[in-house]
Amino acid sequence: MELPSFLSHPLWFLCSVVLAVVLRLQRKGSWEARKCRADLTGKTAIVTGANTGIGKHVALDFARRNARVILACRSRERGQKATDEIKKETGNRNVHLSILDTSSMASVRAFTERILREEKRLDILVNNAGASGLPYAITPEGLELTFATNHLGPFLLTHLLLGLLKRTAPSRIIFLSSFMHGQGNVDTSNIWGKNLEKNRYNDTYNCTKLMNTICAKELATRMQGTGVTVNSVNPGIVMTEAMRNYSVLLRSIFNIIGFFFFKTAEEGAASTIFCSVSEEAEGLNGKYIDSDCTIVLPSEKTQDPAVNRKLWEACESATNLNTHPTK
């Protein structure tokens, strides 16, 4: 089929290029991490899933600010590569790798035991690790894989590190949510996900992001007066490896569209860095920070205190916190 003549005109091509450039420039928010002068000398930060994407750029930013940075990664090989690259780029030798698989509660407990044994303080905890497009699967601990990876693992990790965070206060906890959290639903009778009908599985990622946002809000309420603040962030639509579990066709479409419209991983890290280090975010608690680093209201599904408490209690049960008390 022949294109209309105006589409083949050089002016049309030029306008398309200009529009693409404008769209790319508009992806940046009003707050820029590189202009923030916050210094993290003497402070310790943990970033989960820090070997790539948003997590790596967050860890890189913290290292530039002279923090002691712990990259909590599932893959030793990829985690060590990222650690070495961050050290080389920043000159900060106080960057370390510690193995963590958030889909395994045993791995979470082993990780936190090492941290509590080796670290004297924890100023920033960034729950960044997560995945979408994972196949439906039940872990050896009886938890559905996506539920465990995206929510129950980070929930347990945070709970087990609360004592250290309180002793280090003022300290900050950040959960990476998503603008898609409003499309999710919460069934507190099936928080472990193992009875989930497979034909309803396609919205599991959204459900876990809703749970992240709700539990961040509930934890913020519980942490009032301790000096520990808890917030959730929406990084926006970001070009990361989050699509690695999808088909080649879907990844290709995502990458082509994303080149013009989506944020880079560095741009997507801005809202997390804003919550973690900025003076503007000091004292913020129980808030949801949008991709342009502004406070917005999350979905109405996060606003019911009774539901929030019930979800929290279901998460405690699913992660056996009652039989394995925190230190």
The domain defined by 29-318 folds into: Rossmann fold (3.40.50)
Question: Is 136 designated active site?
Answer: no
In whole numbers, what is the pLDDT of the chain averaged over residues?
84
Share of the chain above pLDDT 70, in %: 77
pLDDT tens string 230-287: 999 999 875 555 555 444 545 454 454 444 445 677 888 999 999 999 999 999 999 9
Q: Name the band, by pLDDT with cuts 50, 70 and 90, for residue 203.
A: confident
pLDDT tens string 97-140: 999 999 999 999 999 999 999 999 999 999 999 988 888 899 99
pLDDT computed for residue 308 by the predictor = 94
The reported pTM is 0.84
Residue 20, pLDDT > 70, answer no
Q: Name the band, by pLDDT with cuts 50, 70 and 90, for residue 193.
A: low
Q: d(Cα 191, Cα 208) in Å, to the nearest integer? A: 10
Residue 23, pLDDT > 60, answer no
CA diameter of the chain: 72
Domain range list for the chain: 29-318
Q: d(Cα 246, Cα 224) in Å, to the nearest integer? A: 40
**Candidate list 136, 201, 205, 288, residue with the active-site label:** 205
Q: Name the band, by pLDDT with cuts 50, 70 and 90, for residue 168.
A: very high
pLDDT tens string 53-105: 999 999 999 999 999 999 999 999 999 999 999 999 999 999 999 999 999 99
